Structure 1
């Protein structure tokens, strides 16, 4: 998130960039000279004429979906419960990976360090696991 904050700050400082928060693309009409975009905001929708549109909205891109473009790649059905724990640890800063550990029978687990003394724990869940149930503290 430090990189995202730095990029947002740099964009806000650039006169040629109009950074708009809480805007969501809901429609796109391609044209020979660009596209007409329909944008949803908390204050209501608006339209925007764009000379160029660059979809940087991830693997499940809503922009590609609006254009009917498919994404060829691999999809994995694995589910994970991810928890961040803030702590100072006496053990070395290295990535730990377990296959079928005694504390998480039949699945895998991963422990790796994040910035600011945060350790991320990734626990693989059964494919039919209910993520809402797995989030419960007990």
Structure 2
């Protein structure tokens, strides 16, 4: 892409292009660690403690079936354990493993510091705050 031409693009086009490019680099990064974006969300949710698959599905805003497939992948990778809930045998409880905590922690650092993941962002925290403000204001117009 020609940097001079890019400088003339409207802000909306810049945002959508940047989002796609960051998403692709993030997916590549996660893939090298045996993770998907959905799997990373589950690990993030499990940092609060063991949860049922249904609770994880609600927290991730996906169907129970989608969560089951995501947990299956994480289980095969060794990032979570799954067991029948002792109090309610109909429920399945998911727990993050040491390997899951480690890969989650690495991903959080990469998200903030790895130029391959985020590109040329100079001040990650300021950039992130601007994105939070933008999404919040557009999601809840005054």
TM-score bracket, shorter-length normalisation: under 0.3
Q: Which TM-score applies when normalising by structure 2?
A: 0.25
- Asked which structure has the greater CA Rg, the reply is 1
Which protein is richer in strand relative to its size? 1
Greater RCO (Cα-Cα under 8 Å, separation 6 or more): 2
Which protein is richer in helix relative to its size? 2
Q: Which TM-score applies when normalising by structure 1?
A: 0.25
